[in-house]
């Protein structure tokens, strides 16, 4: 059986802010020629570049059909839409898993695109679901509008959608369009605000009409639910119930027999939370209701 490390791998939800462009690529940092789509990527998994806001769709084989309207004008409602932020590695701080494992107990390691994608894609439903990458809030709104679902799952750092991972820190991208609860929020609640949704300009009211009344958004980010008022504000803006976590989301590696390679991951809410391999089993403890 593989050996399992149980170090708390917390993510600082408030690191220093620096200006960093938000990339749109989504490749394995350790192998630029391989596209990440979970722990067992297959060549049949397609990558589709959407014309709207540069969002990237990674869908399972048989699920790559674009969002479409059904007969009689009815809109297809997905069971789940999984959305990940953009957090590539800056440079090459860890050349191999051994170096990552050595830095984990020192809190010098943080999950980047590769690990976040594995978290988001380990147990995504095989049918009637989508997997998207949105590097900023406008792409995020387009993803919600264009892929209405009963449940939206956002995997990121805190409530920010873009940044870079370095040794010992996560450097968030600066600018109003990267933080769901930053200055952009006040712009989005002002009269006249609009965003590109399915190739046309849309309003917040259009977004509310496009989503199911019972839709919910779960933010799988460290301390994403530390402020209930923030969840309420975001819920009012998006027109969905918003849930989050009051503690850090910890990434816990499962290693090979010799302890040199990371073969899989488990996750927990806080240091004492139960380790699980399915994000559905992590129960948010904060809600906008």
Tokens of 134: 């949105």
Over residues 60-64, the mean pLDDT reads: 35
Question: Cα–Cα distance between 248 and 107 in angstroms, integer?
Answer: 13
Over residues 200-212, the mean pLDDT reads: 95
The answer to whether residues 82 and 140 touch, using CB atoms and an 8 Å cutoff, is no
Strands 78-84 and 129-133: parallel
The answer to whether residues 207 and 182 touch, using CB atoms and an 8 Å cutoff, is no
Pick 160 or 226 by higher pLDDT.
160
Q: Which residue has the tokens 């010992």?
A: 168
Pick 77 or 53 by higher pLDDT.
77
Closest to 142 in 3D by CA, of 207, 73, 217: 207
Over residues 121-130, the mean pLDDT reads: 89
Q: Which of 52-61, 193-202, 241-250 has the lowest mean pLDDT?
A: 52-61
- What pLDDT does residue 226 have? 84
Question: Cα–Cα distance between 284 and 266 in angstroms, integer?
Answer: 17
- What pLDDT does residue 122 have? 87
CB atoms within 10 A of CB 159: 26
Q: Is the pLDDT of residue 108 over 80?
A: yes
The answer to whether residues 127 and 133 touch, using CB atoms and an 8 Å cutoff, is no
What integer best gives the mean pLDDT of the chain? Answer: 79
Closest to 143 in 3D by CA, of 214, 52, 77: 52
- What pLDDT does residue 223 have? 86
Sheet holding 17-18, edge to edge: 17-18, 169-173, 163-166
Residue 284's Cβ-side half-sphere holds a number of Cα atoms within 13 Å equal to 25
CB atoms within 10 A of CB 97: 17
Q: Which of 15-19, 170-174, 185-189 has the lowest mean pLDDT?
A: 15-19
pTM for this predicted structure: 0.75
Q: Is the pLDDT of residue 19 over 60?
A: no
């Amino acid at each position: 059986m593989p050996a399992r490390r149980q170090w708390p791998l917390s993510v600082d939800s408030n690191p220093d802010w620096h200006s960093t462009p938000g990339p749109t690529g989504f490749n394995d940092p350790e192998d630029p020629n391989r596209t990440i789509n979970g722990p067992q990527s297959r060549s049949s998994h397609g990558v589709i570049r959407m014309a709207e806001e540069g969002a990237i769709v990674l869908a399972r084989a048989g699920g790559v059909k674009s969002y479409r309207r059904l007969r009689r004008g009815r809109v297809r409602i997905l069971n789940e839409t999984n959305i990940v932020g953009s957090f590539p590695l800056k440079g090459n701080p860890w050349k191999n898993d051994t170096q990552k494992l050595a830095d984990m107990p020192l809190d010098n390691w943080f999950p980047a695109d590769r690990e976040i994608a594995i978290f988001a894609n380990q147990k995504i439903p095989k049918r009637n679901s989508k997997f998207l990458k949105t590097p900023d809030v406008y792409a995020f709104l387009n993803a919600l509008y264009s892929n209405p679902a009963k449940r939206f799952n956002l995997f990121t750092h805190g409530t920010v959608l873009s940044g870079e991972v370095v040794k010992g820190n996560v450097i968030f991208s600066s600018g109003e369009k990267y933080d769901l609860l930053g200055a952009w929020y006040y712009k989005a609640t002002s009269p006249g605000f609009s965003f590109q949704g399915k190739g046309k300009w849309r309003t917040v009211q259009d977004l509310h009409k496009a989503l199911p009344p019972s839709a919910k958004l779960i933010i799988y980010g460290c301390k994403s639910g530390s402020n209930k008022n923030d969840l309420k504000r975001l819920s009012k803006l998006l027109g969905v119930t918003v849930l989050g976590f009051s503690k850090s989301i910890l990434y816990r590696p499962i290693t090979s027999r010799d302890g040199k390679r990371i073969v899989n991951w488990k996750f927990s809410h806080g240091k004492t939370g139960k380790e699980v391999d399915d994000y559905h089993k992590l129960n948010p403890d904060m809600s906008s209701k």
